[in-house]
Structures are given as structure tokens and as C-alpha cells.
Copies of this chain bind each other. A is one copy, B any other.
């Protein structure tokens, strides 16, 4: 083999050795995604506390659904903005929540979050009625990299646990 051939064979061997690795798995972004999502949830709760309905509603995906007990599901961002806006107009409205578990898919496109909330609304007699509960929220990463809620399902605790 000529020197040229030898050099080529060496280059080829080195190149193909690198190539022989199995296809690299996509980078694992779960820890970063989870941290980003927890920050989103904190920001979302702060918007609820600030009663900023338009910004609050902007955290829902276009085709999101809010499932509330004893009420029809609210589908779609426009209806959600209207529904959230109406709730926040209640003078006794107050809402805060915090994430408990956050689990992100290996592919970083889907996640779910469980957490706890405390919500106050006017009761039938107009006085503030507070309930606590848990929720599950499913999130999808959008094309621009932001996380948006696609399913939001709050589930109330027993009345005795509301801790009023």
C-alpha cells in the first residue's frame, strides 16, 4: 500500500470508527424542561393573584380545555379567556396554586403537573367561600419552545379540608 493509501486508510478508519457509534440519542432536556415548567407555573399563579385575566388566559394552548366540577368544560383559548375573565370579576375572587410533581416526557414535548390550589369566590349569599383542592395540568411545548396548558383539571378537597 502506498503512503497515500495508508494515510487514506487511516483517515477512513478513524472516520468510520466515529461513525460506528450508535445514532446519538436526542439530548435529554427533562431536567431543564421541568425547571422551566415550574417557573411557568409560578408565573401563572402570580397572574391569578394579580387577577390579570388576559395574561392568565395566554398560558392556555389554542385547543386547551378547562374541566371544572359541576360546570361544562370550557374549550379553546377564546372561551377560556372569557370564562377566566368572568371569574376574576367576582370581587371575592382569589386564586393561588403551586406545583407538586412535574413529569416531562423524554422527548420534551409533553409534560404533566400535579399541584394544590386555594380558590375563593362569592358564595350564594355573596360572602367569600374558599375551597382548596388538587389539580392535574397537562402541558405541551409549543413550536416556539414555550409550554402551554392543554388540559387543566382542578379537583376540590372535601369541604372540611378547606381550612377556613
A125 contacts chain B at the CB level, 8 A cutoff:
no
Q: Closest Cβ of chain B: how far from A19's Cβ, in Å? A: 3
- On chain B, the residues within 8 Å of A157 by CB distance are 70, 72
A1 contacts chain B at the CB level, 8 A cutoff:
yes
How many identical subunits does the complex contain?
2
Interface size range of chain A in the complex: 35 or more
A156 contacts chain B at the CB level, 8 A cutoff:
yes
A147 contacts chain B at the CB level, 8 A cutoff:
no
Q: Closest Cβ of chain B: how far from A67's Cβ, in Å? A: 4
- On chain B, the residues within 8 Å of A69 by CB distance are 69, 155-156
* A1-B5, A5-B4 known; A73 vs B106 contact (CB < 8 Å): no
**A158–B16 CB distance below 8 A:** no
A-B contact pairs, 10 of them (CB 8 A): A1-B2, A12-B12, A67-B134, A69-B155, A69-B156, A72-B158, A107-B109, A110-B111, A110-B112, A153-B153
